[in-house]
A and B are shown apart, each in its own frame.
Chain A
Amino acid sequence: MGKLRHHAIAVLACAAVALSTVAAAGQVVEIEVSKTFGEIQLVNRGAAIQLSSEVKVEQMVDGKWQQTPVANLYLISSCTQSPAPACVLLAANASLRPVPWRGNYCSSQCMANCNLDGPVPPGTYRYVVTSCDRKRRFYSAAFEKKAQAAQDLSLPRK
């Protein structure tokens, strides 16, 4: 948790050029979705807030949002040996760029220990982040996921 990067508003202003702002009006925490698949940035427009570090993914199916069983996706800014904390603090006016989602079910962010894995199907998705007390939910705007080759599942990294 100590490695979470809280960027200043000035940095956010620059980043916003490349990001499409997608948070619903009135939300305290906005989840901005980059044009680069998997990249998001959380921006806190309100007071400091504790967020559950777990990021949920929902898919639009037959006009309704349904949870997609994506595991191991957290509000962490780097892949470390420490397990993700249960909650992360997002200070007032701070922002956070988690490690991008790879589009997979299991090895979804950092490399994980998976038996069955695979890319989620193409479709319309959104991210959901909740406050640590589970009383508030923050949604990104919808974004599209295109087809992903099976060969992309698990390539050598280095």
Chain B
Amino acid sequence: MAISLVPGTASIKIVLHPSVNRPALDAAGPFMDFSCRPISIEGACKITGDKGDNPAGWTLGLIQLKFVDTDWAYYRGKSNLDGSSFLQYSRPPALPTGGCRDTINAGAIFVDNNPGLDRTVAAATSLLPLAMSAAFSDAPSRSFYLSRKNGLTGKDNFLREAQTELHFCTVLSLRSPAGIFQHLKSVYWNVHWQATFEPSNFANLAAPWSIVTTGGLGNMAHVSQIIDGPPIDKRFAGIVTAPGTPNCNLMTQSSYNNPNVKESKVWANFDITQ
């Protein structure tokens, strides 16, 4: 018998459920912060084999994919003729279509932000059956400039509204020494923020702002039921372990450095879907 998963031993446990914090002024700089209490996930399984089987290299880890990203900010001047601006961070060309894989090291496959605990790698000396585990926490965040210069009017535009929705799928996966992945369980989770903003003092943006969170699903975090087997979601099933899958942090950083910008000479309504 080759080394294999012990049936019924794979599990994902949500140790800590995420929750979004109310958008808040950053104490360290001119930013409005979207932050959250982290999600903590633990996965586990057992592998077994015959006497003499060498388990070296069998690895249990977690793979995280981001498959929905909504990121935009609307700025407007103090008065109508100061104009307005719309910054779209989550549409091409700022952000390419398709999902991304969420690792600290670009090109990695398993989540890698909890060294020593985010995976179990069996050694030649590991005894079978072998209990394996993988655990990590994550707290996505966004940070928006409080103001920007409108290129059409030359006037400062101030953060008026912003929305972020990040949807992830985290997959518990067992990798053989030959590089074959066996996706065991998965869970969907997301974090949403949306709010309107207005400075109390346009000449001192460090002074308190009016921050009104929008209702409904605008500010929340959610975790799905645990799902058995490999992900079949067409939005990301093809990129789970693909070598060329983009890195989420790098993509997001690039999109925030180079957003799609629309400007108006007046307070305009922009299509947030574009």
Smallest CB separation, B139 vs chain A (Å): 4
**Bound form: Cα–Cα A110–B28 in Å:** 7
Smallest CB separation, B41 vs chain A (Å): 11
Inter-subunit contact B141/A112 (CB<8 Å): yes
The reply to whether the CB of A79 lies closer than 8 angstroms to some CB of chain B is yes
Inter-subunit contact B138/A111 (CB<8 Å): no
Interface flags, A10-31, vs B, CB<8A=1, else 0: 0000000000000000000000
Inter-subunit contact A156/B114 (CB<8 Å): no
The reply to whether the CB of B256 lies closer than 8 angstroms to some CB of chain A is yes
Quick check: which of B2-10, B103-111, B179-187, B220-228 contacts chain A, the rest being far away? B103-111
**Bound form: Cα–Cα A93–B16 in Å:** 49
Interface flags, A94-108, vs B, CB<8A=1, else 0: 000001000001110
Residues of B within 8 A of A150 (CB): 16, 38, 40, 137, 139
Q: Which residues of B are interface residues toward A (Cβ below 8 A)?
A: 16, 21-22, 24-31, 33, 35-38, 40, 64, 66, 100, 102-105, 111, 113-116, 136-143, 145-148, 166, 168, 248-249, 252-253, 256-257
The reply to whether the CB of A151 lies closer than 8 angstroms to some CB of chain B is yes
- The 9 tightest CB contacts between A and B, nearest first, are A79-B29, A118-B113, A154-B35, A150-B137, A111-B143, A153-B139, A154-B139, A115-B248, A157-B27
Residue of A83, A112, A113 with highest tally of chain B CB at under 10 A = A113
The reply to whether the CB of A158 lies closer than 8 angstroms to some CB of chain B is yes
Residues of A within 8 A of B16 (CB): 150
Residues of B within 8 A of A71 (CB): 249, 253
Residue from A69, A81, A117, A154 in contact with B21 in the complex, judged by beta carbons closer than 8 Å: A154
Residue of B nearest to A121 (CB): B115
Q: Is the interface of B mostly helix, strand, loop or mixed?
A: mixed
Residues of A within 8 A of B28 (CB): 78-79, 99, 110-111, 157
Inter-subunit contact B115/A157 (CB<8 Å): no
- What would 15 more interface pairs be, CB under 8 Å, given A113-B256, A121-B116? A78-B29, A81-B145, A81-B146, A110-B28, A111-B26, A111-B31, A112-B141, A115-B168, A116-B138, A121-B114, A150-B137, A153-B137, A154-B36, A154-B141, A158-B25
Query: Across the A-B interface, how many residue pairs have beta carbons closer than 8 Å?
Result: 123
Smallest CB separation, A85 vs chain B (Å): 14
Smallest CB separation, B11 vs chain A (Å): 20
Smallest CB separation, B30 vs chain A (Å): 6
Residues of A within 8 A of B38 (CB): 118, 150-151, 153-154
Known contacts A80-B30, A114-B249, A118-B136; A106/B25 CB under 8 A: no
Residue of A nearest to B138 (CB): A116
Known contacts A111-B31, A116-B64; A154/B249 CB under 8 A: no
